Structure 1
């Protein structure tokens, strides 16, 4: 069951990366909800939370996810695929500035929700939540790389 959820989660995030319409999750609330649910299942397992704690955490986490999903990464894929030497100084500057701006936005959201998460979780559990998110993101990136390699035959 865990493998199935992970596969579904990774597949959904993969689709988000490569479909123009899905990049704006507000256009696809069902997909946004499924991704959020899959993340919550993984976080619940990582934090070993009771049902009551999960009920209290879920609305906070969904708001947190919604705010994070509102940040657009229009050139993120390009940044990962581009040879830096092929960019003009202006193009490189724009890509880096956009990436830094988004990092600030995400950091601001995380700081804002830290206090809300602490109403349900201990600081150690919030730490684990952020760590779980990072691990989920790493899994998604590994899966994306694997699929890209399979697609290109490298």
Structure 2
């Protein structure tokens, strides 16, 4: 009996991971749909030609993926620890990692803007940033409305 309980206990993380996999896939699919909706909205707001949107699509998607990955890494970095139990050296290491990711994010943003300026006019790039911000705000508001979570 003890062996069965021990085996069940040892398999628990694998079973939990297997249950989470479809949720991860659903999240990934949802993010991809949001990117496509955002691109469609951006195309309409900026009156982009088919040529411009076909050039913009891979740049936008790649940027969104990379930003999401960096943000997730920072989120994991800070939310999986108890700051009160860290030594000064451990805390400094974590802060250096955070700053390193922020530098990567800055470099990514700079490259993204350079790529955008090869496709769009500077005014269109500004409109793209404004539209993207507005779209994300609307998505956040809709998410809060659907989940019933209070606004921050």
Q: Which category describes the TM-score, using the shorter chain as reference length?
A: 0.5 to 0.7
Q: Distance in 2 between matches of 1:136 and 1:57?
A: 17
Return closer, same or farther for 1:21/1:48 CA change in 2, 3 Å cut-off.
farther
Secondary structure in structure 2 of the residue aligned to 1:137: helix
The Cα shift of 1:29 comes to 5.5
- In structure 1, the residue matched to 2:16 is none
- In structure 2, the residue matched to 1:51 is 50
- In structure 1, the residue matched to 2:109 is 110
- In structure 2, the residue matched to 1:120 is 119
Q: Distance in 2 between matches of 1:59 and 1:70?
A: 17
What TM-score, normalized to structure 1? 0.57
The Cα shift of 1:147 comes to 3.0
Q: Distance in 2 between matches of 1:48 and 1:60?
A: 18
What TM-score, normalized to structure 2? 0.57
Post-superposition Cα deviations, 1:51-107, rounded to whole Å, max 9, x if no partner, equal 11111211211221221122243786xx9xxxxxxx97x8xx9xxx69877665444
Secondary structure in structure 2 of the residue aligned to 1:131: helix
Equivalent residue runs for 1:1-150 within 5 Å = 30-73=29-72, 105-148=104-147, 150=148
The unaligned stretches of length 5 or more in structure 2 are 1-19
Higher helix share: 2
Q: Distance in 2 between matches of 1:107 and 1:23?
A: 30
Q: Distance in 2 between matches of 1:146 and 1:108?
A: 35
- What RMSD, in angstroms, separates the aligned Cα atoms of the two structures? 4.0
Q: Distance in 2 between matches of 1:108 and 1:31?
A: 27
The number of residues matched between the two structures is 124
* Higher gyration radius (CA): 2
Q: Distance in 2 between matches of 1:133 and 1:48?
A: 14
Return closer, same or farther for 1:106/1:32 CA change in 2, 3 Å cut-off.
same
Contact residue 36 and residue 62 of structure 1 kept, 8 A: yes
The unaligned stretches of length 5 or more in structure 1 are 1-19, 80-86
The Cα shift of 1:111 comes to 1.3
